[in-house]
Amino acid sequence: MAEVFLSLGSNVHREHHIRSALDALTHTFGKLNCSSVYESEAVGFEGEHFYNLVVSICTTLAPGKLSSQLRQIEEDNDRNRSAPRFSARTLDIDILDYNQYDGSIDGIDLPREEILYNAFVLKPLAELAPNHCHAISGKTYASLWQAFDQNSQKLWVVPFVWQNVDLSNST
């Protein structure tokens, strides 16, 4: 069984699509561990603020099959694949870390490079899995967050309740 960390983001009907994704992930994979939900400014384009969080799941699916399953959840939430890479989206789910694998598997580069560059990925990952190590740097996610230029990208925890669980302070 692989431990997998996923990044979820939405800036179109954010609450609805994040809840829908969490419901679908629970239905498919069972128990989720979730970070707090963060709001952040759009990165790479002008647009509405995003809601972001990181969840961990356990799965026997290989990364390629898992990616297909996640794409289906995105499509079920009206994800527009013809839109530019940096644009508004109903739902984005990315595999960040798959059993601390380092390399390319099933066409997926792991760990996901944006862990090191985007506060909206690294902060919730460091919150959820502070002592897990980044497979390339060997540093914990907590230490990577501490070394990150935290003034370069603004993000903040937002009130968010899902299935009677307050994700405003998940740790």
Q: What is the pLDDT of residue 43?
A: 75
Distance CA 18, CA 15 (A): 5
Give yes or no for residue 83 having a pLDDT over 90: no
Confidence of residue 42 (pLDDT cuts 50, 70, 90): confident
Q: Which residues contact 128 (CB under 8 A, 6 or more apart)?
A: 5, 33, 34, 35, 54, 55, 56, 170, 171
Token duo for residue 15: 């609450």
Q: What is the pLDDT of residue 134?
A: 97
Give yes or no for residue 77 having a pLDDT over 70: yes
Q: Where are the alpha helices (DSSP H) in the chain?
A: 14-29, 63-76, 119-128, 141-147
Average pLDDT over residues 149-158: 92
Q: What is the pLDDT of residue 80?
A: 58
Percentage above 90 pLDDT, the chain: 78
What are the structural domains of the chain? 2-169 (3.30.70.560)
* DSSP SS3 for 8: strand
Residue 153 gets which letter from DSSP? S
Average pLDDT over residues 4-29: 96
Q: What is the pLDDT of residues 86-145, one digit of tens each?
A: 556 789 999 999 999 999 999 999 999 999 999 999 999 999 999 999 999 999 999 999
Token duo for residue 58: 């356990």
